[in-house]
Structure 1
Amino acid sequence: MRPRLTIGWLFLGLLLAFAVGPLIVFVFAAFKTQSELADDPLGPPAHLLWSNFSDAWTQAAMGRGLLNSLILVAGTVAGTLLVAGLAAYAMARLNVKGGGLVLGYLLVASSLPMQMFLVPLFYIWTRAGLYDTRLGLVIIYVAVFSPFATLLLRAFLLTLPRELEEAARMDGAGELRVAARVVLPNALPGLLTVALVTALSAYNEFLFAVTFLQSDSSMPVSTTFFAFQQSYVQNGVLNAAAGIIMLLPMLILFLALQRRFTDGLANTGMSS
């Protein structure tokens, strides 16, 4: 029994090293000099060179990129919660005709590759004046992320008891009041899960951002970092520092909301 336990811990240790090792090397690189990185790319730095972060912040315009990402994430989360919340409530609580067909459509839509929409969207957005605007990108994100968010939130709403809603209706409350006063407070863990998943997806999305935004003043941090990396290919330490700056906001957000996020996922099942 003990040799099996030892093998199990050894296997878990190898998995941990495989998952965390590259991140540790990446952090080490952010604090080195360029010559030190060339001499010892895997080892820890001899001294912590904090100036790499200020240089990367200035040269890569990370502040502007983070601000644009914040605007895009906030708009996407708000729009997705509105669309997915109303759709999920209707599918979970109202007798919608053709609900099975809508559910199948959402399943198909959430599984389609995003590359399929690039050419028609590019043509439509150019004609509509939404190309190279943050509003146009937010609309795309809401449309892309809403199907999965609707399925996730609907599955969570199905786990909530209906007794309080029926009591509110007996007291004369309409559907909007029932949704706002009864369902919404009880659905906060599910809404938080949807918001966090959507925020992470919008923050890390690259394909639509690099296609539909061209102005430097509108670029989110993902495309800002990409442009900086292409311009400073030989400067690995500044690339690593800029990458850590890009990673930190979502890492802090996830760690702060980790417990509620996992609780929301644990209470969510794709049941019909």
Structure 2
Amino acid sequence: MTNTESRLTLTITFIVLGILVFITLFPIVLMVLNALKPAVEVVQNPLAFPSEIRWDNFSRAWTDARFAQTLMNSAVLTALTIVLVCTTSSLTAYVLARKKIKSWKVVTFYLLATTTAPIQLFLFPLYFGFAKLGLINNPIAVAFVYTAVYSPFAIMLLRTYFLAVPKELEEAALIDGATHWQVFWRVMLPIVSPGILTVALIIGLYSWNEFLIATTFLQSQDRLTAVVSFFLLSGNYSSDWGQIMAAALIIVLPIVVLFVLLQRRFIEGMAGGSVKG
């Protein structure tokens, strides 16, 4: 490849990357701009800079959406879901990776089917069952629903990590006197920890942003999640879009900060999950 071709390739690469960065950052920048505007200016021209900075949009959004309570509810629910999914999925994925299962095609079809099946199919039976058991407004019960919904994806991803680990490591640990549980806990989990972190980030994002299940099973005011309280800010006839944009920024900010801090681990985890065994 000549120098001219190399420069052309490099230029095209930077142009494409610049376009992708613009597409990625534009919604966030637009959200920040409109969060600082009066509601009238948001409606008139959402792309313009604010004529005056309205910091009170954030304070009103925090108070009206009761974010002090609802953000904590979302954090607790997300943490419970992450723990349950990572625990059950890692154990299941380890067994599926190490044991020869004759009906593996059936298991694969089941996992893929449950991954793609819409939750609406199960919403009404679940609701009536939860109502009979008195589990409405119970965050732990909702965390178990999230676990059932997100576990198939997590199992499929983590299985690829366990397949990439040489069996000789397990055999050496067993020869040294370790039990199967010790092999899993002390040998396998540290090796596949990037995959578990990747699963935790993805499941955390899903749980934090989930709306349908949360609004169905968590109905009392003291159990609402941040996303549901954000939805309730919008009125039937009029909405304060400056306040709504400020509320959206408050909800998005923790996820953005967490992803920025852990992006290298996340990318490494996704790359490692692409290894086929």
- Candidates 243, 252, 255, aligned match of 2:248: 243
Match of 1:263 in 2: 268
Alignment of 1:1-272 (within 5 A): 13=18, 16-96=21-101, 98-230=103-235, 233-269=238-274, 271=276
Which stretch has the larger CA shift, 128-137 or 257-266?
A: 128-137
| SS of alignment partner, residue 152 of structure 1 | helix
Q: Deviations over 1:193-231 (max 9, x none)?
A: 111111001011111111111101001111010011237
- Alpha carbons of structure 1 residues 230 and 89: separation in structure 2 relative to 1, 3 Å: farther
Residue identity opposite 1:247 in structure 2 = V
Residue identity opposite 1:103 in structure 2 = T
CA drift of 1:161 comes to: 1.8
Q: TM-score, normalised by structure 1?
A: 0.91
CA drift of 1:5 comes to: 7.7
Residue identity opposite 2:96 in structure 1 = M
Q: TM-score, normalised by structure 2?
A: 0.90
Residue identity opposite 2:213 in structure 1 = F
Cα pair 1:90 1:96 within 8 Å, conserved: no
**CA distance in structure 2 between the aligned counterparts of 1:212 and 1:230, rounded to whole angstroms:** 22
CA drift of 1:107 comes to: 1.6
Residue identity opposite 2:133 in structure 1 = A
Residue identity opposite 2:74 in structure 1 = S
| SS of alignment partner, residue 158 of structure 1 | helix
**CA distance in structure 2 between the aligned counterparts of 1:169 and 1:11, rounded to whole angstroms:** 51
CA drift of 1:84 comes to: 0.3
Which stretch has the larger CA shift, 3-12 or 44-53?
A: 3-12
CA drift of 1:14 comes to: 5.0
**CA distance in structure 2 between the aligned counterparts of 1:237 and 1:143, rounded to whole angstroms:** 37
Residue identity opposite 1:60 in structure 2 = A
Task: Say how many residue pairs are matched.
Answer: 272
- Alpha carbons of structure 1 residues 6 and 66: separation in structure 2 relative to 1, 3 Å: same
**CA distance in structure 2 between the aligned counterparts of 1:72 and 1:134, rounded to whole angstroms:** 6
- Alpha carbons of structure 1 residues 261 and 18: separation in structure 2 relative to 1, 3 Å: closer
- Alpha carbons of structure 1 residues 17 and 186: separation in structure 2 relative to 1, 3 Å: closer
Calculate the aligned-residue CA RMSD, in Å.
Answer: 2.2
Q: Deviations over 1:107-159 (max 9, x none)?
A: 21111111111111112111121122111211100110111101100111111
Q: Deviations over 1:59-110 (max 9, x none)?
A: 1111211100001001000000111011001011234453442222112111
**CA distance in structure 1 between the aligned counterparts of 2:224 and 2:196, rounded to whole angstroms:** 28
Residue identity opposite 2:71 in structure 1 = L
**CA distance in structure 2 between the aligned counterparts of 1:250 and 1:60, rounded to whole angstroms:** 18
- Structure 1 stretches lacking a partner, 5+ long: none
Q: Deviations over 1:12-67 (max 9, x none)?
A: 65554444333322211101123333443211123432221111101111121110
Residue identity opposite 2:72 in structure 1 = L
Identical pairs, percent: 40
**CA distance in structure 1 between the aligned counterparts of 2:168 and 2:8, rounded to whole angstroms:** 53
- Structure 2 stretches lacking a partner, 5+ long: none
Cα pair 1:151 1:270 within 8 Å, conserved: no
Which stretch has the larger CA shift, 120-129 or 174-183?
A: 120-129
